[in-house]
């Protein structure tokens, strides 16, 4: 079984969702030691100095749309860590089963963080509606 886990934040960023994804991917990889389970974590987070080759699962960072669609097409199950609309839409259009988990951030913002990722700044609550499309995962 091929499981794709899409997460906005991932190592080397440190936090609850990041740690959760790491533990989940490591645990699922250990269950599929015989090659029956293949885990791929997809994230827009750059690696910086983090060495993905030491992980027991594949990590794809900053995929373009074509690569993301191909990864979703080839996966059996998609898990979204947070409400990431582009991968959700792609998975639904491709008929893939999707699990969406939410880690308690306000759902008024598409990425759930009330954080404008490109500028690395906090969104004002009055901006959430007007800049909603700018902070998609």
Same domain, 69 and 113: no
Q: Which domain holds residue 10?
A: 2-103
- Mean of the pLDDT values across residues 23-27? 89
Q: How far lies 120's CA from each of 63, 64, 114, 117, 123, in Å?
A: 20, 20, 11, 5, 9
* DSSP state, residue 99: E
Same domain, 82 and 52: yes
Same domain, 68 and 119: no
Pairing state between β 115-116 and 38-43: unpaired
Q: How confident is the model at residue 106 (pLDDT cuts 50, 70, 90)?
A: low
Same domain, 50 and 26: yes
Short-list 84, 28, 16, CA closest to 55: 28
Same domain, 36 and 99: yes
Write down the pTM of the prediction: 0.74
Residue 70 makes CB contacts below 8 A (sequence gap 6+) with none
Q: How confident is the model at residue 9 (pLDDT cuts 50, 70, 90)?
A: confident
């Amino acid at each position: 079984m091929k499981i794709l886990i899409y997460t906005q934040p991932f190592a080397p960023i440190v936090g609850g969702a990041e740690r959760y994804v790491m533990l989940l991917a490591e645990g699922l990889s250990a269950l599929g030691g015989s090659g029956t389970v293949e885990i791929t974590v997809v994230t827009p987070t750059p690696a910086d100095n983090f060495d993905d080759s030491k992980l027991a699962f594949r990590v794809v960072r900053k995929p373009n749309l074509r690569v993301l669609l191909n990864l979703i097409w080839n996966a059996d199950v998609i898990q979204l860590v947070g409400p990431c609309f582009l991968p959700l839409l792609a998975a639904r259009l491709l008929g893939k089963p999707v699990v969406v988990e939410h880690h308690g951030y306000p759902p008024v913002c598409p990425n759930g963080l009330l954080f404008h990722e490109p500028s690395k700044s906090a969104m004002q609550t009055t901006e959430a509606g007007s800049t909603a499309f700018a902070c998609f995962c």
